[in-house]
Each structure stands twice: as structure tokens, then as C-alpha cells.
Amino acid sequence: MATVGTTSDQMPVDMNASKFNHAYMTFQGVTQEMNQFQNGQALTGQQNNTPETLQEDYGGGAHFYDSNAKSGQITLNFIDNSYWDTILGNIYHIEHDNLTPESVKNSFVHVTYKNDLTGKSMVGEYGRITKMPNQTMNNTVSDVAWVISFAKYDVDWGNSNAFSSN
């Protein structure tokens, strides 16, 4: 959410809307904005490992170790049999069928999410689809969850300046 104003009694007014959210995928040098997400949770991202661990010694002293872990995953939730469901199915087969040294170099995807209002962004670099989504058959619109694992995953909170020195 972004603060867009304040009331007469100094209460903040926040605003956010899905129209400010954009997600892009790049594959083999081509970038497209993704759409046809399921209604509700379109995508989620998470780190795979904790980049910093705490170890206590015998005397109770604290020792932090920064592993520089950067990997993560993004789950994309699309409407079943949509354009993007089909695209990801095709990418999956390009990544996993008939692998050659040259095809591996060209089979990574990059995903970027950006909120134009808040500046928050999420980026996954050098990703591969880890498995095909579960398939269902029902009498309503189905959704499929495509999981992509990334060598580098990062989130930038954009306009947040709560601890800035300004």
C-alpha cells in the first residue's frame, strides 16, 4: 500500500489496486507481460534458504554466519488451459526434453513483479520450472500453480523509508 493522503485528523489514507501490479517473464530473449492469473493470489515468492544463521557457542555467545544464499522460487497461479498455462507447458518441455549443452544455456526464465504505486518489486533470475503443476477436472474454472526455482531471488520494498536517515 502507498499513502496517498491524510485525513483532517492526520490519519493516513493508503491505496493499492491490482492495476498497479505487473509481472513479466523473459525467455530466450523475449519479454512478455503475464496475464490470465487466477482470481485472488496471482503469484508468490520465497527464499529457499535463510541467508544468515545464528550459532551459539558453549558460553552462550552469539555467532552469525552469512551464507550469501540467494536462491528462491516463484509460484505463478494461472487459469487452467490459458495462454500462459500453455506457454509454461511449452517452456517446461524445452527445458527438460532432449537436453543438449546449447539448449541448457537457452532454457532459463527470468520473472519480474513490480507494483507501480509502491515501487515494490520481486525478481527471479536464471530460473527453471521444477515440475508440471497438478491437474484437476471440475465444473468451475480451474487453476494451475507453476513453480519456478531461481538461482537468484530478491525483493525490493521500493518506497519504504522507515529507517532512512533523511
Give pLDDT, residue 2. 58
Residue range 13-156 forms a domain whose CATH class is: mainly beta
Residue 136's nearest CA partner among 81, 91, 73 is 81
Segment 97-140, tens digit of pLDDT: 878 888 777 889 999 999 888 888 999 999 999 888 888 777 77
Whether residue 3 is predicted with pLDDT greater than 60 in this model: the reply is yes
Global pTM value: 0.78
Put the strands of the sheet holding 143-156 in their side by side order: 30-33, 21-27, 109-115, 121-131, 143-156, 72-79, 43-47
The dihedrals phi and psi of 32, each to the nearest 5 degrees, come to -135, 145
Domain ranges of the chain: 13-156
